[in-house]
Chains A and B, each alone.
Chain A
Amino acid sequence: MCGVTGFFRRAGGLAPGAREELTEMTSSLAHRGPDAAGEWLDHEAGIALGHRRLSILELSAAGSQPMASHAGRYVLATNGEIYNHLEIRESLARDGGEPAWRGHSDTESLLAAFDRWGTEAALRKTVGMFALALWDRQEEVLTLARDRLGEKPLYYGEQGGVLLFGSELKSLRAHPAFRGEVDRDQLSAYLHRGYVPAPQSIYRGIRKLPPGCLVQFARNRAPGPLPEPRAYWSLGEIAASGLRNPFDGSDAEAVDRLEAVLSRAVASQSVADVPLGAFLSGGIDSSTIVALMQAQSSRPVRSFAIGFHEDAFNEAPHARAVAAHLGTEHTEMIVTPQDAMSVIPRLPRLYDEPFGDSSAIPTFLVAELARRHVTVSLSGDGGDELFGGYTRYGRGHRLWRQLRRIPRALRPALAPGFGRHYSRFVATGSAQELYDAVMLDPAAAGIVLGVDGKPAGASIGLNAGLAATDFYQAMMLADGTTYLPDDILVKVDRASMGVSLESRVPMLDHRVVELAWQMPLRMKLRNGEGKWLLKQLLSRYVPAVLHDRPKKGFGMPVGQWIRGGMREWAESLLGAERLKQEGFLDVPRVRAHWSRHLEGRTRSGEGIWRVLMFQAWLAETGVA
């Protein structure tokens, strides 16, 4: 696990001082890779690659990056893990493309694969999580690529004639050519959704590479728009193919299949030359991962949980019960509101893009706890998107089934009868509109100055064909392509990297994802409850009494804190004078929202929390 950065001056080569610029960019990512730093430049070609390393496998210098391929054609800087890199070496040997290995790092395996099969074909053979920058000296082409589900981040964009790229925005900001102009449309999208959706970022002209994509830049091209990324793997296609060719076995066979595929993913991700553990909340997903880890291990697996004094948020007793049942070596920490609040000032620097999901706080705390004992931790994320866990899926599904029977033209007339909140769902004309109504905060409309209503980026593309027949899985798919990579996985990556911990997500092994999409709806939704299949699997290891309970969010009572202990902090960020000077937000609207929140007249603090996280980010990064 590491950090990647660099820049490419596509015409004219590198200027003197390029090395210093690269060092600045690379050292901004020191937290992602505290163990070593590496730089590689080709002044004539105009390319500079930087790397920070957190050593997990191949702890020797034979794993140093940027690394050149044996033939010398490629230079590679990666962040992540290729779990099947030994299998790749075996294929290379069979294929006659095996070099004399210098060490056993996955970077070396990947380079040989690129050498042998070419970029795109090699990427298709990987199993893993990664973001990478690959320089092809022969063709003078830079390739940026990202893993299939979007576990590892990659930002890029052209600024002042230089292509900048990096694992986090802070590395791009460290380059002198960087201009940080806030993209107001994206700011509005952020306030609607709680995160800035790919392929855009909060900065105009800086993009996120979408999951499963690569983008290539050739030297000496005439200036023009940036080339578009292309997909080497697409969740949408995987879903479509799975739905066309569904698994047709019995219930028991389905559980067997999932057990086999997920066990293999857990096994391949449990390999490390450093201590390894897992996050355990006691919920379905993390309990399943830990159960499968323990089933494969002769020694107790290390598991980590945090708890809270507030009962409504405290999952620690559930985690403890599951840990005791499975016999893990369990570490628990009960955190006070003060502990949790002390994380808040660190969030803007950690995320360096506005991020409004308050569960970033517990995720950071549990990563911090785990890092005291291990260097790698497995997490159960992805289960809700793959196996249909969110309550909104079932409710949306039922509502859409009813709504479809009502002629579209009649819906607006009927809507008011459903009350102030629900009427906006009933008034929707299409599945897409309904999904947007469910996912987007209506209070965010019109709050960004210069953006009228809902900006284009605020709508979350739903597969229309799938939505027409299966709204449940259409929502899952849309979440899998946006909410999962842009919110959940961003949170897991930044929280763990913030404490130099490598997180791994076995559910997102693409073979698990492919199997999940072959499973028909009845394997996900049954008896009105989601995640049926996953619960069946877990029940083979943990009795239902320990995991069958109402699903709870893992949000934090940030709404309460900003009314209480953090009120001064919030007030200073939301001061009318300050807002006016910054000029991004509609001052009276923000102030009115804040007043309503202080009086308890809002149902959640999420809306005002998003505004606060933007304000704190603005203060931290100092752009205007």
Chain B
Amino acid sequence: MSAQPDSLAPAIALFLPSLAGGGAERVFVELANEFAARGLRVDLVLASAEGPYLADVSSAVRIVDFKAPRILRALPKLVHYLRAERPAAMLSGLDHANVVAVLARRLAGSGTRCVISMRSVPTEVYRRANSGGSRLLLQFMKIVYPFADAIIANSHAVARDLSRLLRLSVDEIHVIHNPLNLARIESESRAPLSHDWFSDGAPPVILGVGSLAPLKDFETLIRAFAIVRQGRACRLVILGEGPDRKRLEAVGRGIGVANHVLMPGFVPNPFAWMRRARVFVSSSVTEGFPNALLQGLALGLPIVSTDSVGGSAELLENGRWGALVPVGRPAAMAAAIGHCLDAGPNPAARGRAAEFSHERVANRFLEVLLPWENPA
């Protein structure tokens, strides 16, 4: 029992644009806290230190704030940081940050091991975005990413896509799934939630979680919900915020379910909502690795997910742990939701979720980040 930090411990930098709520940001905060608890010296390097997860960062993690409103403006600062601090390894996440990280390491010549992490299927994301900027970024990725020392994908689907894009063998890409802090999810889910939609005898709540963005395709979920509602009383809650809010609200009004759909925005404790919901639905067009779905699984919630490009089918082992439905098909989704409402909870799925404990995942990350520290 000792509180004395090991000053010789290697330093790891985790680089992200910011901590604005999102899956990558949550994962990075959990990794940073776990690495620090193991005595490593951890810097959470942010182009801009803002976002709701900032409060969750352990005090053993140092926050380095470049105060750069745009990620490209962070490049010279990251170069300077790498030259001054010389961390043993740097892990970056999200495409723009990955490009900046690889370039900065080349420019700094710091000997820092540069590991990038990918969390969504890039070609799909950029095909849909289809703007000049996105195509440019995709070109950049092709040129720059091979200069990283290691690439981590959070699902096999992402790894396959990347290997095609970068003309790498799929074996050269490490697949490490997202970590799940099971104890925290369990304990936070028990926090009180006073919303009368969850009072005794209230109609069952169907839950979707994710940013209100086209890739999440919540429109299909709202349309599927309208179909389910024709047969039984129920309600829909979508947790998250994003550019699609107005459009989604209009869809709800258009088909007459607006009063039964609640979109409270970003909530700090989605687990309390999950525990009280009856079905979890993922309607995404593509998913690198569906964090929220995994959290729902950990709480024993019945799952309906689109058989989307990405990691959902992989996580559910092709339907073993939840129902898979085609992308963008409200009727099929509605049928699956109805089936889940009849069937009830899904406790066996918790075992599947346990395979993603944050300790196991942190071990895998460290094997890639500091291979010399893990001789085994």
Contact = CB atoms under 8 A, between A and B. Distances in A.
Q: Is chain B a partner of chain A in the same complex?
A: yes
Interface of A: 194, 281, 283, 309, 311-314, 317, 357-359, 362-363, 381, 384, 390-392, 395-396, 399, 417-422, 425, 437-439, 483, 487-488, 491, 527-528, 549-560, 563, 597, 599-606
Contact of B58 (A392, A417, A425, A557): A557
A391 B6 contact: yes
Given A358-B3, A550-B363, A552-B38, A604 B8 contact: no
Contacts of B42: 603
Interface string B76-87: 000000001111
Contact of B59 (A425, A439, A605): A605
B62 A551 contact: no
Interface of B: 1-9, 11, 33-34, 36-39, 41-43, 49, 54, 57-64, 84-87, 110, 181, 183-184, 187, 358-359, 363, 375-376
A603 B61 contact: yes
Given A312-B34, A419-B85, A422-B86, A553 B4 contact: yes
A603 B58 CA distance: 9
A362 B57 CA distance: 21
A180 to B, nearest CB: 27
A216 B60 CA distance: 46
A557 B184 CA distance: 16
Contacts of B2: 357, 359, 384, 390, 488, 553-555
Contact of B84 (A362, A419, A438): A419
Contacts of B184: 311
Contact of B39 (A309, A552, A559, A602): A552
Contacts of B61: 600, 603
B374 to A, nearest CB: 8
A392 B358 contact: no
A553 B63 contact: no
Nearest to A391: B6
Given A392-B6, A555-B2, 4 more contacts: A421-B7, A421-B41, A555-B3, A597-B59
B114 to A, nearest CB: 15
A557 B59 CA distance: 7
The 3 closest A-B CB pairs, nearest first, are A419-B86, A559-B59, A555-B3
Nearest to A381: B1
22 contacts: A194-B4, A281-B1, A312-B36, A362-B1, A390-B2, A390-B4, A391-B6, A391-B9, A396-B8, A419-B87, A421-B11, A438-B8, A552-B38, A554-B1, A555-B60, A556-B3, A563-B59, A597-B59, A602-B59, A603-B43, A606-B4, A606-B5
- Pick from A312, A396, A554 the residue with the most CB of B within 10 Å: A312
A271 B108 CA distance: 63
Contacts of B57: 600
A502 to B, nearest CB: 18
Nearest to B11: A421
B5 A604 contact: yes
A314 B37 CA distance: 10
Contacts of A281: 1
Contacts of A488: 1-2
A58 to B, nearest CB: 31
A553 B37 contact: yes
Contact of B37 (A313, A391, A563): A313
B9 A312 contact: no
A422 B112 CA distance: 13
B67 to A, nearest CB: 12
Contacts of B3: 357-359, 553-556, 606
Contacts of B187: 309
A580 B33 CA distance: 36
A25 B187 CA distance: 48
Contacts of A552: 37-39
A240 to B, nearest CB: 26
Contacts, number: 138
A312 B87 CA distance: 23
B59 A560 contact: yes
B79 to A, nearest CB: 14
A392 B9 CA distance: 7
A384 B85 CA distance: 30
Contacts of A425: 8
A357 B1 CA distance: 10
A309 B185 CA distance: 11
A438 B7 contact: yes
B85 A604 contact: no
Nearest to B373: A528
A552 B49 CA distance: 27
A391 B39 contact: yes
B3 to A, nearest CB: 3
A68 to B, nearest CB: 40
Given A420-B84, A549-B359, A314 B1 contact: no
Contacts of B4: 194, 357, 390, 483, 487, 553, 555, 606
Contacts of B85: 419-421
A546 B2 CA distance: 21
Contacts of B84: 419-420
Contact of A359 (B1, B59, B63): B1
A77 B105 CA distance: 66
Contacts of A528: 375-376
A551 B183 CA distance: 19
B49 to A, nearest CB: 8
Given A390-B2, A420-B84, A603 B39 contact: no
B335 to A, nearest CB: 38
Given A311-B181, A399-B8, A488-B2, A550 B38 contact: yes
Contacts of A560: 58-59
Contacts of A439: 7
Contacts of B11: 419, 421-422
B50 to A, nearest CB: 12
Contacts of B41: 421, 603
Contact of A395 (B9, B63, B358): B9
Contacts of A399: 8
B7 A559 contact: no
Given A390-B2, A553-B5, A602 B38 contact: no
A505 B4 CA distance: 20
B1 A603 contact: no
Nearest to A418: B86
Nearest to B5: A604
Contacts of B87: 419
A419 B54 CA distance: 26
A551 B86 contact: no
A557 B37 CA distance: 10
A390 B181 CA distance: 26
A357 B59 CA distance: 16
B59 A390 contact: no
A335 B147 CA distance: 47
Contact of B6 (A395, A422, A483, A605): A395
Contacts of A563: 59
A587 to B, nearest CB: 23
